Amino acid sequence: MAVPAATPHEKELIEAMTAGVGTGDAANSTRAQRRSRTVMRRFHGVLEANVDRPLFVKETAEAVGVSVKTLSSCCREHLGMGARKYLYLRRMHLVRRALLAATRADSSVTAVTTRYRMPRSGRFAANYEALFGELPSATLRAVHH
């Protein structure tokens, strides 16, 4: 299935993540600041290499080459949220893109949420609705009408 291009909101998330990464006066940066920017560049690389794949904090931290605590701290510093929350929001956007691209052959919310390893609960639907303004089933129905 072809995956639609990133939405403007998804692009904003990526831009927010990378804003300031690699900028600033290296001579005046502390060692911790330089390390944090390096971690975020690696994090961005892992995200780019896995555009349509759900990622979780432990495997992502391992791919970046840091501890979960370090990755989460760097994300909080650069993104204003921890790595776990950022990766969850990213998966929510992947689910939405998949629902918007769904065909009748794979038109089940359950199939899409299973593919992106989202929890099977009413909480997921409520979180989806809070983020996108409609239930996942409404997104899917809109595609088929």
pLDDT, one tens digit for every residue, the chain (145 residues): 344 455 555 556 655 555 544 444 555 578 888 999 999 999 999 999 999 899 999 999 999 999 999 999 999 999 999 999 999 999 999 999 999 998 766 678 888 999 999 987 778 999 999 999 999 999 998 876 6
Instruction: Tell me, yes or no, whether 15 and 73 share the same domain.
Output: yes
Instruction: Tell me, yes or no, whether 80 and 15 share the same domain.
Output: yes
Tell me the residue range of the domain where 17 lies: 8-87
Give domain status of residue 2, yes or no: no
Reduced to 3 states (helix: H, G, I; strand: E, B; else coil), residue 19 is coil
Q: How many residues does the chain have?
A: 145
Instruction: Tell me, yes or no, whether 15 and 54 share the same domain.
Output: yes
Give domain status of residue 80, yes or no: yes
pLDDT recorded at residue 1? 39
Give domain status of residue 44, yes or no: yes
- Indicate the number of domains in the chain: 2
Instruction: Tell me, yes or no, whether 68 and 99 share the same domain.
Output: no
**What is the spatial distance between Cα 130 and Cα 123, in angstroms, rounded to a whole number?**
10
Give domain status of residue 3, yes or no: no
Give domain status of residue 1, yes or no: no
